[in-house]
Amino acid sequence: MNQLTQGISKFDIFGQTITLKMNKQNYYKTFFGGIVSIIVFLIMIMFFSSGIKSFFNKETLVATVLTDFEEIPSQSIIDDATFLFAIQIDQENFLSRPFFDIEVLQVLETRQFNGSKIREEQQIQLVPCTLERFTTIFEQYNKNISQTYTDLNLDKFLCFKKNATFILEGTHSSIQFSYLKISIKKCNSTIICASQEERDAEIKLNGSFKIKLYTVNKILNPYNPSENYLQTYIDDSFYINFLPSIISKSANLFLKQFQVESDQSLTPFQQITQDQFYILDQSEVRERVDFYKEDNVEVATIFLRKSPYKTQIYRSYLKIDNLLSNLGGIQQILFFFLGFILALYNRFQLLIELANKLYEFMLVEKQSKRMHENNLNLVNQLITERQYLDSKVTECDATIQLLNQTQVKQKENNSKLKFEDQQQAIFKVNRKGKTFLKKSTKFYYDEQKKAYRSHISNGLEYFESQINLLIRRAKPIKLSFQLLMNYVSCQLLFRNKRKIILMNKAMNQLSTQIDLFNILTKLNEIDKLKEVLLTSEQQLLFDFTPKPIISLDYKDVKIDRFLIEQNSRCDLDLEIQQKEKQIKEVEISQKSLHLKADSSLYERIYKAYDKVLNGLTVSNQYEQYINNQLINQLGAEVQTIFKLSKLIDFSVSFSRTFRRKGQIFQKEIDPISP
């Protein structure tokens, strides 16, 4: 069962990566990185909001336009709803007295196998145009055509009969060829036409006759995201000038078919709507001139045919999956460029913070070390003298207690005896060390004055204040422009600056320490130390010790230098401002508990030094060596602080003891005073 569980676990694609942490976080985060992240977040919100708004408003469209060539154009049935044209000869009184007769024929040519053609013609009746005919088309597109109809005088044009249809199909080479033929003929006896004099006057005035053909045409905007991608209008740009003579004029107009498929859905599921319409393309108008035949009554001809070019358009709005993909792409682009810069910055900031936490920077180490060692020697000499003084006072007290009270005659003589003996003990020193003793005494008095000005009454308070000063005095190397430029330029710029030299040394040492090989080497050294210090039985018991217990019981916080530094650098005013947000009734108690906790930390360190210092006098030489090495690791400055604190405690204790013994002595001599 265990093997099966382990085998299935190997297929887990959501496994958690095992990494080290910094400040109890999986990722090292900086203020600058946070600012840039907020800016990126706002930019993303701006892009996301505009993109989502455009998505729901269907403002983004993807259109594909394909144009196919049909060798044999397919059949198309044209009616009022599909296409409409109005024709007129440019003249006055066209409907009552036209210059020429206009005839519209539906022509069907069928090619036989022997190459002959069968021609069938069907006349399409023309009637005066009405507003209703045009309104029916334009209402489909929510457009009012009344004003345009009036301006163009379309009521004086001819349109094909309502509900009439005609077919467009094929070409001259196809088996079936259907087209529309509009013929301009000479008037016959059945129609009241203009006289020859009126036609001659028109030729004299304008030089020729003009045929105007107005069509209901369309403009297609396939990339317009709105539903009104098709614009309908009346095209008045087509006309033909002709003059009856030995030549006749003809023109071929091609009606192009458009098929539009629109996907109205915003989801991956399709919702297709199809539209089909025809557009008269002016670029495909082809005019031709033929010799006029005597028996031909047609003076001009217009052929309306279907274009062999067919356009298919596929329109689709932006889908939600594409929207998410686009937004994710924008996000990745921002993260790629900004992420590279921020990763470089955050890595450098991480190294700086680690270096400041692990190391203490000092520009002049030897001079500072020598000064602290001299101060430590002064304190050691002063402690030696105080120990000698304390031993003499003890001997003097023992001698006084042996005296018979009846032998003491006067209070002044006994007092004089005791003070003379103490004075001899204080000044009984080696002459060669008088100068050094003066320096040590002066150093101690200077420190005592500082403690007095700071209202310090005992050694613990002095120790706490000096440790705080020591920690606050340390100035970590913070990120600066010069440091950043030095890091980016591979340590070429500003490389002679002292702080940059120190930081580069720290980073090199830090890189060595966090190297995997170095970590594994240190672990191997720990195993070797276990083998050296412990026997095989002790190692077995060491490995058998229970796991650390996690319980609900309160446990003391482990005290280390980092905790002391953190408490020392904490701004008390900031803490008070933060506590103002809490309940006012507990503010004072919380502040006092915080201060008591800080004093407790220093007191525990202070007492620990006493215990280790007393361990130097034990008989076990190995333990003496360990304690001595541990105290030396504290450094000369910290040792000086500890010993000065002890001297302050000694002076306070000595003064109290001296006053108490003086009071006892006073009581002893009072009964025998005269």
Q: Would you list the domain boundaries of the chain?
A: 29-59+332-358, 63-317, 359-543+594-669
In the DSSP assignment, the letter for residue 221 is: -
User: If pLDDT is split at 50, 70 and 90, which confidence band does 432 have?
Assistant: very low
Cβ–Cβ under 8 Å, residues 138 and 144: yes
Cβ–Cβ under 8 Å, residues 403 and 665: no
What are the pLDDT digits (tens) for 642-662?
777 777 776 766 566 555 555
The neighbour count for residue 56, using CB atoms within 10 Å, is 11
User: If pLDDT is split at 50, 70 and 90, which confidence band does 189 have?
Assistant: low
The mean pLDDT value for 453-471 works out to 72
What is the length of the chain? Answer: 674
Closest-CA residue to 319 (of 262, 261, 269, 260): 269
Q: How far apart are CA 598 and CA 342, in angstroms?
A: 38
Token look-up 């080696």 returns 430
In the DSSP assignment, the letter for residue 245 is: S
Strands 209-220 and 176-185 turn out to be unpaired
Q: Which residue has the higher pLDDT, 467 or 495?
A: 495
pTM score, two decimals? 0.54
What are the pLDDT digits (tens) for 332-344?
887 787 788 888 8
> Which residues, 6+ apart, have CB-to-CB distance to 184 below 8 Å?
89, 100, 101, 102, 211, 242, 298, 299, 300, 301
pLDDT above 80 (res 265):
yes
User: If pLDDT is split at 50, 70 and 90, which confidence band does 179 have?
Assistant: very high
User: If pLDDT is split at 50, 70 and 90, which confidence band does 566 have?
Assistant: low
The mean pLDDT value for 436-451 works out to 67
| 217, containing H or E segment | strand 209-220
In the DSSP assignment, the letter for residue 283 is: G
Q: How far apart are CA 450 and CA 462, in angstroms?
A: 9
pLDDT above 50 (res 217):
yes
The mean pLDDT value for 372-389 works out to 69
Q: Which residue has the higher pLDDT, 424 or 152?
A: 152
Strands 298-317 and 247-263 turn out to be parallel
Q: How far apart are CA 149 and CA 490, in angstroms?
A: 79
What are the pLDDT digits (tens) for 158-168?
998 888 888 99
Query: Which of the residue ranges 18-32, 169-183, 298-312 would you say has the lowest mean pLDDT?
Result: 18-32
